[in-house]
Amino acid sequence: MSILPVKAMFMLAWRNLWRNHRRTTIMLAAITVGVWAMIFMTALMRGMVDDMLLNGIRSLPGEVQIHHPEYRDDPSINNSIAPPAAELLEALQIPQVTAWTSRVRVPAVISSERDTRGVILLGIEPGSEQQVSFDADTISEGRFLEDSSDKGLVIGAKMADHLETDLGKRVVVMSQDPDNDIADRGFRIVGIYRAKLASLEETYIYAGRETVQKLLKLGEGVSEIAITGDDYRNVEQWYPRIKQAAGEGVEALPWYEVDTYLGSMLAMMDGFVLVWIIIVFLALSFGLVNTLVMAVFERVREIGLMQALGMRPSTILYQILMESLLLLLIGLLLGNVLAVGTVIPLQGGIDISIVAEGMEMMGTSSMLYPALKLNDMIMANAIVIILGLLTSFLPAWRAASYDPIEALNKT
């Protein structure tokens, strides 16, 4: 009896767990709720941060940007680049790149009869722009631009309110040309859009790229080339190919270098998830240790008898740890099922418009979309099992270290 088969140890561990149904059930409920809380809250936080990052990337926009080396410090028309050609154009066709667009992007002033506001004027190619950043479904009135030579203007609903203007009205847009002279033009508003973040409606106005190029006497030049891929987390897999093809005369940067705040948010979130899971488990560990210590205390004479009959202390240690492992596995199974069952129905979105203003300050929209990540579930389960077994080692070691004679005399 010094060495028990795994099957026999499993049977003993299973029966010992259910000697006290109430205690085991309470502990299972605690583990289940704890695991559910880990995964559910992580999914909510992931969804919030993903939305913040995606909104930020869309407002940059693009997961990779190419522009003049001095453009970020001085976003003037003088710091323009040529449109993609030759090697760069070929690199933009790789499978990881889902879409790209080139645009003129300059500071400007928009004026109506009532007010004047500073904005960012975007001269775009409508077809490719919609694939990269602009959602045509956000047009609440009128239409989107038809092509790059469209002479209309699309502005945000908030901007229309500030200017006290409306669809079909004319406004004047002013900026600087390469000679630092004022370039202005009258535009008729052909569309009004409503963005997920109201702040974007006050910042960006859209016109045809060719129209803006003529206005600013820019020729074929553009301010930037924006590229988007299939996963903003995996930019490193294809970004070097784009950077190499772009050459040394321009600056090609991934989104987390263009906006270091967004990059730090991603790193902070990954660290926060790990800390959150460990904190929840530490709360669970007290109950787990208590359950196992009580189970050992109730079976002191039984353990002493097994030792007297020749069972090694190491075998007793493994048996107690197996009880803990079974308890953890059952709790994990129930917790994972509960988490998946509650997160999936909510992936269509949770309306948090009651706190929309505060969420917008953080860069998120009024709808929260929980993001259930397989990696987060695997990490939560692995941490629970590893730390659970480590926590269970103390009562298991205590049971294995009993003196057989003293244990048999326990009452």
What is the per-residue pLDDT across 334-374, written as a single tens digit (0 to 9) for each? 999 999 999 998 888 777 665 555 555 555 556 778 888 88
- In a shared domain, residues 81 and 17: no
DSSP annotation string for 45-73: HHHHHHHHHHHHHHHTT-SEEEE-TTTTT
Q: Identify the band that residue 234 occupies on the pLDDT scale cut at 50, 70 and 90.
A: confident
What is the pLDDT averaged over residues 310-317? 78
165 and 307: one domain? no
What is the value of pTM for the model shown? 0.68
- Of 255, 283, 308, the last residue of a domain is 255
Is residue 185 located within the same domain as residue 123? yes
pLDDT at 10 over 90: no
220 with 338, same domain?
no
Domain hosting 323: range is 6-56+264-408
Most confident of 42-51, 231-240, 256-265, 277-286: 231-240
Residue 363: the pLDDT is 52
Can you tell me which residue has the tokens 């569309």?
191
pLDDT at 356: 52
Residue among 150, 191, 190, 196 at smallest CA distance from 353: 196
pLDDT at 1 over 50: no
Residue 48 within any structural domain of the chain? yes
Q: What is the pLDDT of residue 327?
A: 86
Q: Select the more confidently predicted residue: 211 or 131.
A: 211
Token digits for 395?
A: 């009562």
